[in-house]
Structures are given as structure tokens and as C-alpha cells.
Amino acid sequence: MFYAHPFELALGFVMVISGIRAFISGESSPSINDALPEELLLAFQIISFLAGVCLLAGLALRSNAFGRTIERVGTILAAGTYGGYAAILAFTVPLWLAWSTLSTTAAVALAFWLRGKAIRKTELTILRALRAGNVTEDPHELMRRLMDSRGLDLNGQDRRA
């Protein structure tokens, strides 16, 4: 189950571990600590930690629709925290010093946002198929198989057959 999205899994662990470290020591990355007032820093740390928890929980529960929804929430939260971090770098550190970290962080934010959109698109496709009433098997099994991209068409039939 975790092997399907190793980068999402790794970044989820990083966000959880960073959040735990921030709660214990009260500090995050120096660029964030210096740029944000205490209340915003706490909000950033909480949202980042929750994003990691949602990513990990969503991956662990990905065999059902609820797990995918949790994963989607985690990807959107992660996109927001990484995007926020990129914005903080852009406005507080000279661009010639921060361009590498800024571009990497912005790319990760974009990747999380696109992953969240992809999950939502898959959910909408499945919902349309279920509402159309052309389901010949258990809807939960169909949803699991479609979301795991196992080569099924919208009727739950194997495309490869």
C-alpha cells in the first residue's frame, strides 16, 4: 500500500517529524522562525504537521474512499505549507541566495497541488459512474480498483481483456 506513492510517504514523514521537532523545541527552519510572528509560526507548524498526518493516514487507508479523501486533504495542506514556505523565502531572503531552495519548494508545492487535483478528479469520475447506475459489482470494490488504477473502465470491466 505504501509503495505506490513513496515520495508522498517520505514527505509525510518529514512533515510529521518536523512538526514534532517544532513542538518540542519551539523552532522550525530559521527562515520561517525569523520571518513569521509567533502566532503565524505556530499556525504554520500545526498545518504542516496535520498535512503530514493526513498524508500518512490517507496512504494507510487508501483502500477506501475515506482514505483517499484524507489523502487529498493532506496534499492540499502540504501544497499550502510548501507554497507558504516558498513565498516566505521569496520575500525574506535575497533571490540570489534562495533560488535553489525556493524553486525546489515551489515545485514540491505544485506537485502536491496537482496530486490533490488528480485524486479529486478520480473521485468525481467514480461518482459519475456510480450515479449513472451502470455498476455491475460492489461499488466499494469498484472504487478501490478504479482508484488504484488497475486498468478498469467506468463499468468496472477490465480494459485489457
pLDDT digit string (tens) for 102-125?
Answer: 899 899 999 999 999 988 888 787
> Does residue 55 contact residue 121 with C-beta atoms inside 8 Å?
no
Q: How far is it between the farthest Cα atoms of the chain?
A: 59
Query: Residue 152: helix, strand or coil by DSSP?
Result: strand
Contact 96, 59 (CB under 8 A): no
For residues 14 and 52, the answer to whether their CB atoms sit within 8 Å is yes
Percent share of the chain, pLDDT over 70: 75
> CA-CA distance, 35 to 11, in Å (whole number)?
23
| Grid cell of 32 as nine digits | 520561517
Mean per-residue pLDDT for 37-55? 87
DSSP bridge partners of 158 = 152
The stretch 54-70 carries a mean pLDDT of: 84
Predicted confidence at residue 45, as pLDDT, reads 85
pTM to 2 decimal places: 0.74
* C-alpha–C-alpha distance, residues 63 and 73, integer Å: 16
Q: Which of 161, 152, 160 is nearest to 125 (CA)?
A: 152
CA-nearest of 76, 84, 146, 85 to 111 is 76
How many CB atoms within 10 Å of residue 142?
A: 19
Task: Give me the pLDDT at residue 160, please.
Answer: 54
CA distance 57 to 117: 18
